Structure 1
Amino acid sequence: MAIKVVTDSTSYIENSLIKELDITIVPLSVNFPDESFKENEVDHEYFYRKIKTTGIIPTSSQPSQGSIISIFENIVSNGNEIVAIFLSSDMSGTYETAISARDIVLEDYPHAKIEVLDGRTNSMALGLPVIEAARAALSGQKFDEIVDLAKYMIKRVHFYFAPETLEFLKKGGRIGGASALLGSILNIKPVLFVENGKTAVLKKARGSKAAIEAMLERLDNDYKTNGLKHILVHHINCHEKAKEIADKICDKYDFTVPVVPIGPVIGLHVGPGAIGIVYCTEK
């Protein structure tokens, strides 16, 4: 018997780590009018090129209840236990669907142990608790210890990001047309963050450089007051810009700072050129 960790594709964990830590991924989908893709199967460059050439921003859709039931059943039928962590229930119905899938599976496997957690965020802010839970499972920690560790991590991850353009936020209904127009004219870049499962505005900066500096300032404040365990830089189709920021953070704090792309499901709401910083505090 083993403890298996399950998450969804918006965690954006590297494929090598998924394989190494035996993490099971439940994919969300992106949908153009003429074709649909599982998020973890579509090429990112093709995806953003298609948006640019067609002018169409696709929609996203959560996994079906049946697909989650199938994954859960496959795990518990072999005598294994499940710790599942999904993106924020305020951002997607995936978590609620997983809860209902769990309840159905438990009808046929009443002695199975399946814990489904609301990750309260997305991207690698979701991925970090998943990775730590998977490492704990492989090291032989008990079920309740792994669940407690995941909950501890969820409370301590921070995710700040700055879109390069307001177009995607406008088309997604997250800001009004007038705000988007004024922001473009004045070169205003909102610095956003995820708090209590929802996206909120930290500040409005004049230009990309000021937006990035605002994120780095928050990182530095938390480093001084709470200590840091993990830091990484996210990007949407702008690896070189992200690498420069990661190198800057690495030089200042002597941390290894991975650069991790954000996939299509989150990317279609924010747009290419966005930069994000994810970190976990020690307290």
Structure 2
Amino acid sequence: MHVKIVTDSACDLPKSIYKDYDIDMAPLLVHLNNQDYYDGKTIEPKTVYDAMKEGAAPKTSQVSPEAFLDIFTSYVEQDQPCVYIGFSSELSGTFQSATIARQQILDDHPDAKLYVVDTKCASLGQGLVAMRAAQLAKEGAEVEKIVETAEYHAKHMEHIFTVDDLEYLQRGGRVSKAAAFFGGLLQIKPLLHVEDGKLIPLEKIRGTKKVLKRMFELMELRAHDINNQTVAISHADDLQTAEKLAAMINDKYEPKEIIVSNIGAAIGAHAGPCTISLFFLNNTHV
């Protein structure tokens, strides 16, 4: 029996990849206009972005320990090894929920092969880690090899992204009020990255065209071997800009694949409409 890979909806993987690689997904909750929705299951990202443009302030909730307990138990009871590839513990309590559920299961099933990996990643950065783990699982790799590779990829996963308005991140406590204020001045486009699981402002650039060019430059500086890895671009209802960035990469390099996908409702509720994110490995591909 192959190793089962579980992740959560913050990874923003396209539905086709969940299906192709047999990945199980635990949805975060999205609270919008007094209604609760399951991210990736009962709400579309565009619904969230349209509401935010009209002034709505959606909130999100972590996956509960009980939800993880149900998922993990279903595999442990079949003696199937299971690896959870989790959303950054610095940005959500979801990984803590998974850790609590895992401990409860190990108390009753001490020999269970149940592992949890805190990727310190978000969106398709986390998604690329989950996908690589699932590729190995599909190939029949041992669970220890999958965990080791996932941890390596997580450690070397770059996130370079820009948001249309830092106010959205500030509302959710993801960046400081001061950073949000200065980012909104003079049409400055902030560039951010992820450092040890946290969102860190990187540079301030004026204009969308310049910011895409700078994202591409940073990838050239930081990526070890662009032609030998899968690159990912996620966008918040701005496919046209995401495709421009993909074209810039394809004009000069030949990555194994460029995945372009919507930022899901949970991440999007904090990042806001028109966010563009670029993900790649900054060291040798495993």
Alignment of 1:28-177 (within 5 A): 28-41=28-41, 42-53=43-54, 55-175=55-175
Partner of 2:277: 276
Segments of structure 2 that go 5 or more residues without pairing to the other structure are none
- Return the alpha-carbon distance in structure 1 between the equivalents of residues 68 and 184 of structure 2: 41
Cα pair distance change 1:173/1:76, threshold 3 Å: closer
**Aligned-partner SS, 1:120:** coil
For 1:189, the aligned partner's letter is K
- Return the alpha-carbon distance in structure 2 between the equivalents of residues 179 and 66 of structure 1: 36
- Return the alpha-carbon distance in structure 1 between the equivalents of residues 164 and 279 of structure 2: 17
For 1:232, the aligned partner's letter is A
- Return the alpha-carbon distance in structure 2 between the equivalents of residues 197 and 161 of structure 1: 14
Cα pair distance change 1:195/1:177, threshold 3 Å: closer
When the two structures are superposed, what TM-score results if normalisation uses the length of structure 2? 0.92
- Asked if the contact 2:165–2:183 (Cα under 8 Å) also holds between the matched residues in 1, the reply is no
- Return the alpha-carbon distance in structure 1 between the equivalents of residues 66 and 174 of structure 2: 30
- Return the alpha-carbon distance in structure 1 between the equivalents of residues 198 and 181 of structure 2: 24
1:34-82 residue CA offsets vs partner (Å, 9 max, x unmatched): 20100112112222222333x1211100011111000000011111011
Alignment of 1:192-211 (within 5 A): 192-211=192-211
TM-superposed deviation, 1:181: 4.6
- Return the alpha-carbon distance in structure 1 between the equivalents of residues 176 and 150 of structure 2: 36
- Asked if the contact 1:235–1:261 (Cα under 8 Å) also holds between the matched residues in 2, the reply is yes
Cα pair distance change 1:280/1:176, threshold 3 Å: closer
For 1:31, the aligned partner's letter is H
- Return the alpha-carbon distance in structure 2 between the equivalents of residues 179 and 156 of structure 1: 26
- Return the alpha-carbon distance in structure 1 between the equivalents of residues 235 and 121 of structure 2: 16
- Asked if the contact 2:216–2:245 (Cα under 8 Å) also holds between the matched residues in 1, the reply is no
Partner of 1:185: 185
Partner of 1:265: 266
Cα pair distance change 1:32/1:103, threshold 3 Å: same
- Asked if the contact 1:164–1:208 (Cα under 8 Å) also holds between the matched residues in 2, the reply is no
- Asked if the contact 1:88–1:122 (Cα under 8 Å) also holds between the matched residues in 2, the reply is yes
TM-superposed deviation, 1:245: 1.3
1:123-156 residue CA offsets vs partner (Å, 9 max, x unmatched): 1111111111111111111111111111111112
**Aligned-partner SS, 1:84:** strand
1:14-41 residue CA offsets vs partner (Å, 9 max, x unmatched): 1111112111101101112420100112
1:80-117 residue CA offsets vs partner (Å, 9 max, x unmatched): 01111101111011111111100111222222111111
- Asked if the contact 1:230–1:281 (Cα under 8 Å) also holds between the matched residues in 2, the reply is no
When the two structures are superposed, what TM-score results if normalisation uses the length of structure 1? 0.93
Moved over 6 A (4+): none
C-alpha RMSD over aligned residues: 1.6
Partner of 1:3: 3
Cα pair distance change 1:167/1:79, threshold 3 Å: same
For 1:17, the aligned partner's letter is I
- Return the alpha-carbon distance in structure 1 between the equivalents of residues 234 and 32 of structure 2: 24
TM-superposed deviation, 1:175: 4.8
**Aligned-partner SS, 2:92:** coil
- Return the alpha-carbon distance in structure 2 between the equivalents of residues 164 and 151 of structure 1: 31
Alignment of 1:205-220 (within 5 A): 205-220=205-220
**Aligned-partner SS, 2:137:** helix
Partner of 1:227: 225
TM-superposed deviation, 1:186: 1.3
Cα pair distance change 1:177/1:129, threshold 3 Å: closer
